[in-house]
Structures are given as structure tokens and as C-alpha cells.
Amino acid sequence: MQPFTIHTGIAAPLDAVNVDTDAIIPKQHLKTIKRTGLGKALFEEWRYHHHGGENPDFVLNHPRFREASILITGANFGCGSSREHAPWALLDYGIRCVIAPSFADIFHNNCFNNGILPVILPQEEVDALKREAHEAPDPTFTVDLHRKVIVRPMGNRELAFEIDDHGRGRLLEGLDHVGLTMVKAQQIDSFESKHRLSQPWLHPAG
Amino acid sequence: MAAPKTLFDKIWESHLVEEHDDGTCLLYVDRHLVHEVTSPQAFEGLRTAGRAVRRPDATLAVVDHNVPTDPDRVHGIKDETSRVQIEAMLQNAEEFGIELYHVNDVRQGIVHIVGPEQGFTLPGTTIVCGDSHTSTHGAFGALAFGIGTSEVEHVLATQTLVQRRPKNMRIAVDGELGFGVTAKDVILAIIGEIGTAGGTGHVIEYAGDVIRALSMEGRMTICNMSIEAGARAGLIAPDETTFRYIQGRPKAPKAGAYEQAVAHWRTLPSDPGARYDIEVTLKAADIEPQVTWGTSPQDVVPISGRVPDPKAAESEEQRRAMEKALAYMALEPNTPMRDIQVDRVFLGSCTNGRIEDLRAAAKVIAGNKVASNVRAMVVPGSGLVKHQAEEEGLDQVFLNAGFEWREAGCSMCLGMNPDILQPGERCASTSNRNFEGRQGRGGRTHLLSPAMAAAAAVTGKLTDVRTLV
């Protein structure tokens, strides 16, 4: 997993609440057995017309935001299905950071397993960032996870955000979470032995 | 004396391998369900790292999401990408020693119907699956939740998950449900009440007279849609109804162990005085049959209601969201819900694809015909549900009325197989999500109960089932 430390890029304002994972990546793309290649289908039904061709009204099709790597959006982003194809599609498109007033739980977890930083800010601050993405001569923001700040394009003003230490640590180091837990095999073994004694019906006989 | 604990607290605390100062926990997983869509990348990860599955005996795989529901499917799956994904599932199950139910096995079906049916789902356990509707299993008093594919890989390799402790929420539904009002109406009313993010960060325990009186099928319908309320999981305390359902199922504890298990399960319900972070109460008498009008499960009204008017929205953002939903759904504000014509009816899914759901719909259908403007299909939740329904003659009731009677799978709930809506088609659906494009690009979904779906099939429009039976 690619670590997330300091990221500088264009931020696109996606003006919608309750953006569900079906909207992020439609089901016909879930048949892949790979993690990569989903970027072209990100937000497919909003990005392209039914019979092909780009929808010029969709934010990521504006010349200003086409190269975006940060998304600023509405509450409850990523609700619905658990599909990790949603963060895979975002990442494959080039999105490294999503800023919203809140996230759905499973999507939020999935971000941390894919090197995507989900930033939670109060609604007013998200709205202010969205406005700035529209109004700044150059909508380039910097997100600094070391210092937990967003550096805004207009006047280089900084906006602080909170994130839990565990998630932050994992993103900063880009650690393989399976490997980290495998190191604890002994603790898991000893838990399992106790568990087998208290609820033997959950374990194979012998 | 120890502080009173909730059902959730008890399960959580008895599965902690480790707890860190920063609030992260290593949680032991008792049961892992796997399906073809969210697992290939996880198995690939294991293979690349040379890792094994820690507990194949605690892992069960099915194919359900993308399988066709055409009886011809046993002769091979025509869609190339679906076939490749299913073959990958078969190969991974074989290579890693995991039991799998393929389409030629009567036990095949939707993962959340198969688990309970086989007695794989048990009270007091932790259950995960790479699918958000894993919350279904909470009906048994199991802590069950959906996870992403990276987490699937983590569970396969370590039988644990790194998690933060969610909060406790309690939703009580008191009183007695009115005639024609079902579990689906209850959960839709709950989502309408608390909103689609109302349960975020919480595990919801459902309680009250109504929940206690429900069958296991009804309880599963309730817990299934916890995710549509944003919750991490849903829970219902196990009781005699639960134990009766489990006893004798293939993977349930056998005699001897069963009694020991029941004794443990009886200790699980929340202690008197246990504390919840949020408590909500609904009165059963206020709940009518429900139907959604928009593109989020929270966009729900009673069947006697009307399409809402964005002018009445509480905020600018909400007004825009409503206008967008109405434009997508091609609905005018203030239209009576009962005037909305449908083109399709879908009866099935992990929400409402169980035997009781088919019985409820068949009761409404019996002696009637599907309206001429409607194409209607039944997709039983599993091969065993289908078999049971055929034993009871329900298939003939549906076929005589003009329904299609299909093989088990997720089908049109998410439209990954050939069962999809055409652009502009309007569907009365017993599934769980009315998102834009969910059942097919440009398709319009109205969520409702099996009895209400049956009523819509007969009249050709959204209908109050109470006027038909």
C-alpha cells in the first residue's frame, strides 16, 4: 500500500449527499478479479451519457477538475454496499483524499486499507473548501497528514483536521495490515484455546 | 456487582484478542462467509504472500451475486466475466480447502439466507462477510457485519479483524402490528425515522413487543436493512424462537453440545439497566405498509401518502437532493403513491427471499393474475427455499398468475446477472436499495414488502395490500 504523507493536488467539489458505492462504481464492474483498472468507470453513470460520451456537467469532466486527486463532497459519503471496488476505483482514477462532513462506516475502513485519506470536517468548513475549489484561481490544495492540516489555495491559509492515531499511523507508514496481525499469532492461538473451552461447539472436535 | 451489559457488549468483550490504548481492538471472528464478487483479490493476496486460510472449518463459500437465475445455468454460465469470477471462486475454495455450494447444489443461494439455513449462523458469535447485508445474521443475536476485501483477506489469514468499538443504540417497536403490516414495513419506517446515516458508528439492538413476536424470517428482514440505516450491525436478543429455528440444522451443535450452547445463549440478552448511547421508540400502531418514492431508503412514505414536495424541504441541500431524486424517478410532487404504475415486480433478495416472504406474496396472488402491463418474477433466496416452496405448491400459485419462477441468487436486487431493469422501467421490489441504477441503469425502484409487491403485480400499480385481502 502506498503511504499517505503530504499530498498536493487539485480538489474537485462533488456537490451531493449520501453518495452511495453503486454511484461510485456500478455493479457491472464488480466482476473483475483484479484491484486495478476501475478508474475509467468511476462515477460512470454520472460521468458518461447513457449512449456513450462524457456528460460535460459532471464535475470531473470540467477541464478545471479533470486532474483532481482530492474530492470535497457531502455527508455520508460511501454509503451502501461494502464493495472495496469503490476505493479501488477512486485510487485508480488518482483520488488520494476525500473530504466530507461524514462517511459511511465500511467505506471509511476501506479507505485506510488502500492509502486513501478520509478527512472529516464540519459542514461549514467543507462548504467553505468547496467554494474555494470553485473560486480560487488554481484549485490546488495540500493535505499534510504529518501536521494534520489542509493548506488552502487562497492565501495559503491552513485548516486543521482530526484523525485517529491508529488510522493516521497506518496511512503514514503504508503498512501491510495482514502482516502486522500475523506477528500476533501467539495471542490469537491463546485466545482460540480459551474460546474453544468456553464455546466448544464453535470449533472442530478434537 | 459488574455494570449491566448490552447484548452487544457481551459479544464484543468475549471476542477481544487485544485492546489497545488508542481504542483499536483485535476482534476474533467465529464465522466467515465468502462469495465470488468480493473475495478474488483477497485470495490473490494470500497466494502472493504464501499465506494459508487459518480456519477453513469456520469459512463457508457460495456463489450468489452474479449467477444467472435461468435453470439453464447448470450447463455453464454464458457471461464471460461472470464465468471467470465464478471459476476463480471454485478454484480458490478448492485450493484453500473451503466448503462451497455451487449452482448444482440445492444448498446454494444468497449468502445471508444460506448461513442461517445451514445452522452456520449461531447466537453469540462474530460473523463477517464481504457484503454489507451481513447484518442479517444479527437476527440470531450474533454480531455480524460487512467488511471490505482487504479485511476479507485479513480474516482469512488471521481469523481476526482490527476494529474500533462501535456504540450501542436501541430501537424499540412497541405494541402490535396492524393487519397487513410486516417486518419490511417496520424496518422501512425505522429508516424513515432515523435516516440513512442515523445508525452510523452504532450497533442497533431491536427490541420491544413487535420484535419479540416476529419469526426468525421477519427478524432477519429487520436486521438485514440495518446497513440502510447506516448502522454497523443490527442485533436481536436470542430467545425460544431463535433456538427452535436453529435446532436440527446441519451445522448447528448436535445433541449434548446443543444443550450446552443453549445454556450459554440464554445468558446473552442485555442486562436490565444496560446503557445505550441512543434510544428510539416507535409505536407499532403508527406503522402502515411503506413504500419508497426516491433514491435513498430513507425516502419512504406510507402507501396512503403522496410523493413529497421539495418546496417543503428543511434545507437547501435536502431540496436539491429531493429534486434530483424526483427527476431520476420521473415523479411529480404530491402524486398519491397509489397512482404510480409499475412495469416490473421483483420478489426475492437477502431481505425478502425466504419461505415466509414467498408465502405472504402467494396469499395475495392466489386466484389473481399479474396485470397486463407488468412483468413479475420470483427469485427464491436459496435452492432449499425454492424446494420448500415447490413442496407447498407456491410455485404453481406464482406460475398460474403469470410470474416467472427462477433459480436462487441475488438477481435483480443488484443486477449483476442478466436480471436487470431497462432504462426508465419502474419496479416494485422487495429488495433493500433504491439507489440510482441499482437494478439496472436508468431503472426506478420502489422498495416494499412481499405482500405489497404481490399487490402491485396484480393491480399494475403501487397498491395498499390491505384493500386486496
Q: Are B357 and B394 in contact, with CB atoms under 8 Å apart?
A: no
Residue A176, SS3 per DSSP: coil
Identify whether A194 is part of a domain: no
pLDDT tens for residues A84-135?
A: 999 999 999 999 999 999 999 999 999 999 999 999 999 999 999 999 999 9
- Does pLDDT of A206 surpass 80? no
Domain enclosing residue A10, as ranges: 6-175
Instruction: Indicate the pTM of the whole model.
Output: 0.97
Identify whether A197 is part of a domain: no
Identify whether A199 is part of a domain: no
- Alpha-carbon distance A142 to nearest alpha carbon in chain B (angstroms): 27
Phi, psi of A57 (to 5 degrees): -80, -15
Residue partners of B199: CB distance under 8 A and separation at least 6: B169, B226, B229, B230, B231, B232
Residue partners of B38: CB distance under 8 A and separation at least 6: A30, A82, A83, A84, B130, B131, B148, B149, B152
Asked if B74 reaches chain A (Cβ–Cβ under 8 Å), the answer is: no
B residues 126-145 lying closer than 8 A (beta carbon) to A? 130-132, 134, 145
Question: What pLDDT does A93 receive?
Answer: 98
Phi, psi of B396 (to 5 degrees): -70, -35
Asked if A199 reaches chain B (Cβ–Cβ under 8 Å), the answer is: yes
Helix (H) or strand (E) holding B115: helix B111-117
- Alpha-carbon distance B141 to nearest alpha carbon in chain A (angstroms): 15
B residues 304-323 lying closer than 8 A (beta carbon) to A? 317, 320-321
> Could you tell me which chain B residue has the CA closest to the CA of A23?
B436
d(CA B230, CA B194): 10
- Grid coordinates belonging to A144: 499534510
User: Amino acid identity of B340?
Assistant: I
As for how many domains chain A has, the answer is: 1
Identify whether A192 is part of a domain: no
- Alpha-carbon distance B177 to nearest alpha carbon in chain A (angstroms): 28
Q: What distance, in Å, lies between the first and last C-alpha atoms of chain A?
A: 39
A202: DSSP letter: G
Quickly tell me which residue has 486543521 as its cell.
Answer: A160
Whether A22 sits inside 8 A of B437 (CB atoms) is yes
- Provide the 10 A C-beta neighbour count for residue A148: 15
Q: Provide the ipTM.
A: 0.95
- Grid coordinates belonging to B187: 424496518
Q: Of A22, A122, A111, which is closest to residue B297 (Cα–Cα)?
A: A22
Q: Are B244 and B173 in contact, with CB atoms under 8 Å apart?
A: no
Optimal mutation site among B27, B57, B129, B196, interface A, most CBs of chain A within 10 A = B196
Question: What pLDDT does A51 receive?
Answer: 87
Identify whether A108 is part of a domain: yes
Whether A34 sits inside 8 A of B85 (CB atoms) is no
Asked if B88 reaches chain A (Cβ–Cβ under 8 Å), the answer is: yes
Q: Are B109 and B62 in contact, with CB atoms under 8 Å apart?
A: yes
Residue A204, SS3 per DSSP: coil
Q: Of B422, B132, B26, which is closest to residue A86 (Cα–Cα)?
A: B132
Asked if B92 reaches chain A (Cβ–Cβ under 8 Å), the answer is: no
Whether B260 sits inside 8 A of A79 (CB atoms) is no
d(CA B410, CA B106): 15
Identify whether A193 is part of a domain: no
Asked if A84 reaches chain B (Cβ–Cβ under 8 Å), the answer is: yes
- Alpha-carbon distance A38 to nearest alpha carbon in chain B (angstroms): 14
Question: What pLDDT does B1 receive?
Answer: 66
CATH number at residue A16: 3.20.19.10
Q: Are B429 and B447 in contact, with CB atoms under 8 Å apart?
A: yes
d(CA A149, CA A143): 6
d(CA B119, CA B102): 18
A28: which chain B residues are within 8 Å (Cβ-Cβ)?
Answer: 416
Whether A32 sits inside 8 A of B51 (CB atoms) is no
Q: Of B431, B385, B430, B381, which is closest to residue B408 (Cα–Cα)?
A: B381
Whether B124 sits inside 8 A of A178 (CB atoms) is no
B310: which chain A residues are within 8 Å (Cβ-Cβ)?
Answer: none
Of B232, B261, B317, nearest to A17 by CB-CB distance is B317
Whether B146 sits inside 8 A of A198 (CB atoms) is no
- Grid coordinates belonging to A116: 486513501
A170: which chain B residues are within 8 Å (Cβ-Cβ)?
Answer: none
Give pLDDT tens digits along chain B (469 positions).
689 999 999 999 999 999 998 889 999 999 999 999 999 999 999 999 999 999 999 999 999 999 999 999 989 999 999 999 999 999 999 999 999 999 999 999 999 999 999 999 999 999 999 999 999 999 999 999 999 999 999 999 999 999 999 999 999 999 999 999 999 999 999 999 999 999 999 999 999 999 999 999 999 999 999 999 999 999 999 999 999 999 999 999 999 999 999 999 999 999 999 999 999 999 999 999 999 999 999 999 999 999 999 999 999 889 999 999 999 999 999 999 999 999 999 999 999 999 999 999 999 999 999 999 999 999 999 999 999 999 999 999 999 999 999 999 999 999 999 999 999 999 999 999 999 999 999 999 999 999 999 999 999 999 999 999 8
Identify whether A200 is part of a domain: no
Quickly tell me which residue has 433466496 as its cell.
Answer: B381
Residue B280, SS3 per DSSP: strand
Whether A201 sits inside 8 A of B257 (CB atoms) is yes
Identify whether A201 is part of a domain: no
Question: What pLDDT does A205 receive?
Answer: 78
Asked if B58 reaches chain A (Cβ–Cβ under 8 Å), the answer is: yes
B15: which chain A residues are within 8 Å (Cβ-Cβ)?
Answer: 195
Q: What distance, in Å, lies between the first and last C-alpha atoms of chain B?
A: 54
Question: What pLDDT does A204 receive?
Answer: 87
Question: What pLDDT does B352 receive?
Answer: 98
- Alpha-carbon distance B452 to nearest alpha carbon in chain A (angstroms): 24
Q: Are B427 and B453 in contact, with CB atoms under 8 Å apart?
A: no
A residues 1-60 lying closer than 8 A (beta carbon) to B? 15-18, 20, 22-23, 26-28, 30-35, 45, 50
Phi, psi of B145 (to 5 degrees): -150, 160
B461: DSSP letter: B
